[in-house]
Chains A and B, each alone.
Chain A
Amino acid sequence: EDKVVQSPLSLVVHEGDTVTLNCSYEVTNFRSLLWYKQEKKAPTFLFMLTSSGIEKKSGRLSSILDKKELFSILNITATQTGDSAIYLCAVGGREGNMLTFGGGTRLMVKP
């Protein structure tokens, strides 16, 4: 059974801090790893990492994928209160377009 574990469960930082969120996985026939941000509504897509793209960057957010050690990290630099959200990691594997989601990391950024 595919498995995705995220850590830490929750994190409280102050504006300007840098945070690192972790995602480890066990999945059959790995195809991709996705990061989503969830505020009060539905998850919104941040990054997709695959065998052909193991590092992504967008503004203050960046992510890397280590296929050998089976993990990914999401870095957020110079955090802002608007970064407060639940960050979800999901892995695509076994069949179809199914994603297996981790439990999420709840990030709170204080002013």
Chain B
Amino acid sequence: DAGVIQSPRHEVTEMGQEVTLRCKPISGHDYLFWYRQTMMRGLELLIYFNNNVPIDDSGMPEDRFSAKMPNASFSTLKIQPSEPRDSAVYFCASSLWDYNNEQFFGPGTRLTVL
């Protein structure tokens, strides 16, 4: 398996623009997680899905952020409009339903908002 795939790997955009991050989880995994990592706040869970259904989005910073999972093999995280404080590395992770919770991370998308 290729592991969790994310695109793009790097994104540089200007304040006010729409940004879409993409994730393909490991085939067969039924949980998908979006995280944001910054030096100041560490790794934060934004939202997670189970069987394509959003379960907990309490970590989503504000209405500018939205996430979708239209099918088991694809998810998007959208920021509209983007702001400089959104600059971070965004990770997608997936896991099986598993009592031991192990999650497998994608390579991340480094977002810079100018």
Contacting chain A: which of B11-19, B65-73, B78-86, B97-105? B97-105
The complex places the Cα of A43 from the Cα of B55 at a distance, in Å, of 23
- Is A32's CB under 8 angstroms from B100's CB? yes
Closest chain-B Cβ to A35's Cβ sits at a distance in Å of 11
The interface residues of chain B, by DSSP majority, are classed as strand
Residues of A within 8 A of B105 (CB): 42-44
- Is A45's CB under 8 angstroms from B102's CB? yes
- Is B101's CB under 8 angstroms from A103's CB? no
Those of A11-49 within 8 Å (CB) of chain B:
31-32, 34, 41-45, 48
A48 in complex: contacting residue of B44, B56, B97, B100, CB < 8 Å: B100
Residues of A within 8 A of B7 (CB): none
Contact A95 to B42, CB < 8 A, known contacts A31-B101, A41-B108, A42-B106: no
Residues of B within 8 A of A102 (CB): 42
Closest chain-B Cβ to A83's Cβ sits at a distance in Å of 19
Contact A98 to B97, CB < 8 A, known contacts A42-B108, A45-B104: no
Interface residues of A (CB under 8 A from B): 31-32, 34, 41-45, 48, 50, 88, 90, 92, 95-104
Pairs A–B under 8 Å by Cβ, sample size 21: A31-B99, A32-B100, A32-B101, A34-B101, A34-B102, A42-B106, A44-B105, A45-B102, A48-B101, A92-B101, A95-B56, A96-B55, A96-B56, A97-B31, A97-B33, A97-B97, A97-B98, A98-B33, A98-B45, A100-B45, A104-B43
